[in-house]
């Protein structure tokens, strides 16, 4: 894959691109490649991973995401020859519930989760996140050094998600460690496979909690799943586990990735940083703009269930389709001057949370946690300087466009004495 690739049109007149979202070229050039696809071949085929459509323009991405009957999220783990292989290319061996279910099977799972993700629940989670932020910053403030990803960006959303689920906070790293490594590596990496196995073992620990939670319910999400019924029967323990694991994963990498990209950008734009710190009301639109320009999840997949035309291209039942949120968010037909970061951009119909029935259930939480994370760092470490040379991006940005490490220095200060909330 190269930036100056030419789009070929095969004998079947289908536009073809040399595209692998897990490649180093995509990691380095995802904006240029996305713009190229948008301009020349917004709906095209890639031969990678057995072949799939790459859908780039906003109208086509919206069509695919909104039509869940024609574009299935479903995953058949029993039969690898079934084209329905979920929302990740190549498929993730662990089926993600409810993300990889279609209606009507999907509906009761989303219903069980919904109360834990209401605007009120998100508002209630904010004091915990703010106190955890101070406790984490207290650990490093006297040293003058912080790794914005390892010391803060990873643990904060992880702790807040563990709290939401009702799992022991001290275990955050046990879950987050392997999940971050899976999200950061290409599937061809042996580390990816190894950490998937560890995630399977973590599922065993969650399953062991379910019988107790069925007799002594608590108030966390895991307890809600344990006592939920599906078609009049208790939710299968396996589904409780995969749903809890998905919520942990959803809560972890995404907010962290958004935070880290934003910190890098604000380091280069001090006047915008000052504006945001001086006027908290600017964060509402600014958060959406940072989500547009730095999509944490670069794109997800669907499987075509019946022949359909998208962007002038004939797709067939069984075809796999990758929706590029990264490209759709840069579509000049919807976002004037897409390269420009406009903190007050409105309307801002970015696709970073998805659209349609699977639209991110955690968006209220992310919209609260993210600005609090950024603000607190600048309030306590106003002269923070990121060491760009030592900053390390994920090896693959194909699923999550995040960072493994982002060291920084600042003038040391006294701890505030903030205890980690429980
Ligand atoms: C900046 C932060 C976030 C981004 C960009 C993001 C992105 C997304 C996207 C794009 C989807 C839809 C995938 C699809 O349609 O195939 C999704 C779904 C989901 N997200 Fe998020 N997410 C974020 C934060 C969170 C948080 C904080 C949580 C939980 C604590 C969470 C949990 C979930 C879950 C459970 C789903 C599946 C929803 C369903 O299938 O109905 N996400 N997210």
User: In this structure, are 292 and 302 located in the same domain?
Assistant: no
Atom index in ligand 1 nearest the CA of residue 110 equals 41
Ligand 1: atom nearest CA of 164 is: 30
Measure 5 CA to ligand 1 centroid, in angstroms: 32
Confidence band (pLDDT; 50, 70, 90) for 353?
Answer: very high
3-class SS string, the chain:
CCCCCCCEECCCCCEECCCCCCCHHHHHHHHHHHHHHHHHCCEEEECHHHCEEEECCHHHHHHHHHCCCCEECCECCCCCCCCCECCCCCCCCCCCCCCCCCCCCCHHHHHHHHHHHCHHHHHHHHHHHHHHHHHHHHHHCCCCEEEHHHHHHCHHHHHHHHHHHCCCHHHHHHHHHHHHHHHHCCCCCHHHHHHHHHHHHHHHHHHHHHHHHHHCCCCCHHHHHHHCEECCEECCHHHHHHHHHHHHHHHHHHHHHHHHHHHHHHHHCHHHHHHHHHCHHHHHHHHHHHHHHCCCECEEEEEECCCEEECCEEECCCCEEEEEHHHHCCCCCCCCCCCCCCCCCCCCCCCCCCCCCCCCCCHHHHHHHHHHHHHHHHHHCCCCEECCCCCEECCCCCCECCEEECEEECCCCCCCCCCCCC
Closest CA to 324 of 9, 44, 40, 5: 44
Does residue 207 lie in a domain region? Answer: yes
Phi, psi for residue 306 in degrees, rounded to 5: -150, 155
Same domain, 78 and 138: no
Q: Phi first, then psi: give them for residue 396, nearest 5 degrees.
A: -120, 135
The residue whose two tokens read 């470490």 is 381
- Supply the residue whose CA is at minimum distance from atom 36 of ligand 1: 360
Report which protein residue has its CA nearest ligand 1's atom 37: 99
Give me the pLDDT at residue 2, please: 42
The answer to whether residue 302 is domain-embedded is: yes
Give yes or no: residues 308 and 363 share one domain.
no
**Same domain? 170 vs 269:** yes
Tell me how far the alpha carbon of residue 359 lies from the centroid of ligand 1, in angstroms: 7
| Closest by CA position to 70, among listed 307, 366, 351 | 307
User: How remote is the CA of residue 308 from the centroid of ligand 1, in Å?
Assistant: 27
Asked whether the beta carbons of 182 and 194 are under 8 A apart, the reply is: no
Residue nearest to atom 3 of ligand 1 (CA): 254
What pLDDT does 95 receive? 87
Residues 42 and 144 in one domain: no
Q: Closest residue (by CA) to atom 35 of ligand 1?
A: 247
Q: Which pLDDT belongs to residue 265?
A: 98
Give the residue, 239 or 10, on which the prediction is more confident: 239
Question: From the CA of 356, how far away is ligand 1's center (Å)?
Answer: 12
- In this structure, the number of other CB atoms found within 10 A of the CB of residue 190 comes to 8
Pocket test for ligand 1, best of 158, 348, 360, 363 (most atoms within 8 A of CB): 360
Interatomic CA distance for residues 21 and 1, integer angstroms: 10
Residues 16 and 82 in one domain: yes
- Residues 6 or more apart whose CB falls under 8 angstroms from that of 79 comprise none
Question: How many other CB atoms sit within 10 Å of the CB of residue 406?
Answer: 26
362 alpha carbon – ligand 1 mean position (Å)? 6
What CATH number corresponds to the domain at position 259?
1.10.630.10
* Exposed/middle/buried for residue 275 (C-beta within 10 Å: 0-12, 13-18, 19+): middle
In a domain, residue 346? The reply is no
Q: What is the pLDDT of residue 297?
A: 97
Flag whether pLDDT at 247 surpasses 80: yes
Within-domain flag for 239 = yes
Say whether pLDDT at 10 is over 70: no
What confidence tens digit (pLDDT) does each residue in 140-154 have? 999 999 999 999 999
Residue-level pLDDT at 148: 98
Cα of 314 from ligand 1 centre, angstroms: 29
**pLDDT tens sequence across 103-116:** 999 999 999 999 99
Q: Is the pTM of this model over 0.85?
A: yes
Reported as a single tens digit per residue, the pLDDT across 254-309 is 999 999 999 999 999 999 999 999 999 999 999 999 999 999 999 999 999 999 99
Q: Are 257 and 400 in contact (CB under 8 A)?
A: yes
Decide which of 4 and 48 is more confident: 48
**Pocket around ligand 1: residues whose beta carbon is below 6 Å from it?**
73, 87, 98-99, 110, 161, 164, 246-247, 250-251, 254-255, 258, 296-297, 300, 352-354, 358, 360-362, 365-366
Is residue 70 located within the same domain as residue 160?
Answer: no
Do 62 and 194 lie in one domain? The reply is no
184 lies in the same domain as 321: no
Check which CATH number belongs to the domain holding 308 and give it: 3.30.43.20
Give residue-wise pLDDT tens across range 355-376: 999 999 999 999 999 999 999 9
pLDDT classification of 316: cutoffs 50, 70, 90 = very high
Domain total in the chain: 2
What whole-number percentage of the chain has pLDDT above 90?
A: 87
Inform me whether the pLDDT recorded for 400 exceeds 70: yes
Contact 263, 377 (CB under 8 A): yes
Does residue 41 belong to any structural domain of this protein? yes
Residue 389 forms part of a structural domain: yes
In the numeric block, which tokens belong to residue 150? 């390892």
Residues 288 and 396 in one domain: yes
pLDDT digits (tens, 9 = 90+) for 30-83: 999 999 999 999 999 999 999 999 999 999 999 999 999 999 999 998 898 999
pLDDT single digits (tens) 174-189? 999 999 888 888 888 8
Domain assignment of residue 343, yes or no? no
Same domain assignment for residues 266 and 312: no
Same domain, 85 and 125: no
Domain range holding 166? 106-297+352-422
CA 15/CA 11 separation, integer angstroms: 10
User: Residue 138 falls within a domain, yes or no?
Assistant: yes
């Amino acid at each position: 894959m190269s930036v100056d690739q030419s789009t070929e049109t095969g004998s079947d007149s289908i536009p073809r691109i040399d595209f692998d979202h897990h490649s180093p070229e995509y990691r380095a050039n995802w904006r240029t490649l996305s713009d190229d696809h948008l301009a020349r071949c917004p709906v095209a085929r890639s031969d990678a991973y057995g072949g799939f459509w790459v859908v780039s323009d906003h109208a086509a991405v919206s069509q695919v995401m909104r039509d869940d009957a024609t574009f299935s999220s479903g995953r058949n783990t029993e039969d690898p020859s079934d084209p329905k292989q979920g929302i990740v290319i190549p498929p993730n061996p662990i089926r993600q519930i409810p993300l990889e279910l279609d209606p009507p099977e999907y509906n009761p799972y989303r219903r069980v989760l919904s109360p834990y993700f209401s605007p009120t629940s998100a508002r209630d989670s904010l004091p915990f996140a703010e106190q955890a932020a101070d406790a984490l910053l207290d650990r490093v403030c006297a040293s003058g050094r912080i790794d914005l990803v390892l010391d803060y960006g990873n643990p904060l959303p992880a702790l807040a998600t563990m709290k939401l689920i009702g799992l022991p906070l001290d275990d955050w790293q046990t879950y987050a460690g392997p999940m971050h490594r899976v999200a950061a590596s290409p599937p061809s990496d042996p580390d990816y496979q190894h950490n998937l196995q560890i995630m399977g073992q973590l599922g065993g620990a969650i399953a062991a909690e379910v019988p107790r939670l069925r007799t002594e319910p608590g108030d966390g999400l895991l307890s809600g799943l344990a006592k939920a019924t599906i078609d009049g029967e208790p939710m299968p323990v396996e589904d409780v586990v995969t749903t809890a694991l998905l919520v942990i994963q959803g809560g972890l990498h995404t907010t962290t990735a958004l935070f880290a990209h934003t910190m890098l950008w604000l380091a280069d734009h001090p006047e915008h940083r000052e504006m945001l710190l001086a006027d908290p009301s600017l964060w509402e639109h600014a958060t959406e703009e940072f989500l547009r320009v730095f999509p944490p999840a670069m794109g997800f997949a669907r499987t075509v269930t019946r022949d359909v035309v998208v962007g002038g291209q004939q797709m067939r039942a069984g075809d796999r389709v990758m929706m590029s949120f990264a490209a759709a968010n840069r579509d000049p037909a919807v976002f004037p001057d897409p390269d420009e970061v406009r903190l007050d951009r409105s309307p801002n119909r970015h696709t970073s949370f998805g659209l349609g029935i699977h639209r991110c259930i955690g968006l209220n939480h992310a919209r609260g946690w993210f600005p609090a994370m950024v603000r607190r760092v600048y309030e306590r470490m106003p002269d923070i300087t990121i060491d760009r040379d030592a900053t390390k991006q994920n090896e693959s940005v194909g699923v999550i466009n995040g960072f493994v490490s982002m060291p920084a220095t600042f003038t040391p200060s006294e701890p505030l004495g903030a205890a980690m909330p429980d």
